[in-house]
A and B are shown apart, each in its own frame.
Chain A
């Protein structure tokens, strides 16, 4: 699939067609998600209206995790199969993922203040999200810390892959900590402890953010493909000048 998409022209042709669809789905789910989460969802019996923060917090958290996974996978593609497109994909994912993990931290804090009376608690999930955020940050800083883009891409990809091994361990190990956090309720599919009516806006928001991210990734990859073309053109004209001058 990736191999097949790796051709830039094919990538452009296909995305040209599906991009509007993705955008449309993102908008529809976002608007309806917002409607349900703000207007048409029940108050939690304990948290009251404060539970509404969940509809931005949890989707952000999910996306931060999912995007990191995709980032690392695309880094594997880049390092192992050396698809240049894979690097563009990973470098497009990274800032979006970093944004979502930052949003998770901020909205979580905004949730924590009314619920726990404190902005921050060194609880397992919070800590591992913080670590995730630093993996994103490390990836971004490292990929820009080299003179040659390719060196930065390779080095940062290594970091992302190490993170893929390390993050589950971090998550798992940090879970040893006693937690104030609520138990994972969606995961317990057997009997979700939250209201079905709360589930709907949650799922809608997750879809909205996922499609939005997908759209943004495609957009960024396109931008980078064009930038690459520009660079190649510039280089070519430079080299021609050099050979003329020589």
Chain B
């Protein structure tokens, strides 16, 4: 990858943050929601165990 690509005509301080921010927030959303699902599943298992 050449230097020119990263610099992007001097717009790099605008372009990279927007991409990073977008991808980062999507990633965080994904991780957070998956964790939430796992937690809920675990709780359900526990509850149905104590019931029986």
On chain B, which size bracket covers the interface?
Answer: 20 to 34
Would B18 and A233 count as touching, CB distance under 8 A? no
Q: How large is the interface on A (under 10, 10 to 19, 20 to 34, 35 or more residues)?
A: 35 or more
Q: A49-B9, A226-B44, A230-B43 are in contact. Are A111 and B37 (CB under 8 A)?
A: no
The B interface, classified by DSSP as helix, strand, loop or mixed, is helix
Which residues in A have their C-beta under 8 angstroms from that of B47? 230, 233-234, 237
- Chain A residues with Cβ under 8 A from B18's Cβ? 53, 56-57, 106-107, 110-111
Q: Identify which of A60, A219, A237 gathers the most chain B CB atoms within 10 Å of its CB.
A: A219
Q: In the bound complex, what is the Cα–Cα distance between A56 and B21 (angstroms)?
A: 10
Instruction: State the CA gap A101–B26 with chains docked (Å).
Output: 13
Instruction: Tell me which residues across on chain B come within 8 A of A216, comparing CB atoms.
Output: 29-30, 33
Are A103 and B21 neighbours in the complex by a CB distance under 8 Å? yes
Q: In the bound complex, what is the Cα–Cα distance between A187 and B17 (angstroms)?
A: 27
Min CB distance, A122 to chain B, in Å? 20
Q: In the complex where A52-B8, A220-B33, A222-B37 touch, is A114 in contact with B14 (Cβ < 8 A)? A: yes
A72 beta carbon closer than 8 Å to chain B = no
- Is the pair A56, B19 in contact by a Cβ cutoff of 8 Å? yes
Interface string of A28-59 (1 = CB under 8 A from B): 00000010001100010000111011001100
Q: Chain B residues with Cβ under 8 A from A48's Cβ?
A: 9, 11
A110: chain B residues within 8 A (beta carbon): 14-15, 17-18
Residue A16 at the B interface, CB < 8 A?
Answer: no
Residues of B within 8 A of A111 (CB): 14, 18
| Neighbour of A113 across the interface among B14, B29, B41, CB < 8 A | B14
Contact partners of A107 in chain B: CB under 8 A: 18, 21-22
* A-chain residues with CB within 8 Å of residue B14 when the two chains form the complex: 50, 53, 110-111, 113-114
A interface residues, Cβ below 8 angstroms from B: 34, 38-39, 43, 48-50, 52-53, 56-57, 60, 95-96, 99, 103, 106-107, 110-111, 113-114, 209, 212, 216, 219-220, 222-223, 226-227, 229-230, 233-234, 237
Residues of B within 8 A of A (CB): 5, 8-9, 11, 14-15, 17-19, 21-22, 25-26, 29-30, 33-34, 36-37, 40-41, 43-44, 47-48, 50-51
A to B CB contacts below 8 Å, 30 in the list:
A34-B19, A49-B11, A50-B8, A53-B15, A56-B18, A56-B19, A56-B22, A95-B29, A99-B25, A99-B29, A103-B25, A107-B21, A107-B22, A110-B17, A114-B11, A216-B29, A219-B33, A220-B33, A220-B36, A222-B37, A226-B43, A226-B44, A227-B40, A230-B40, A230-B43, A230-B47, A233-B51, A234-B47, A237-B47, A237-B51
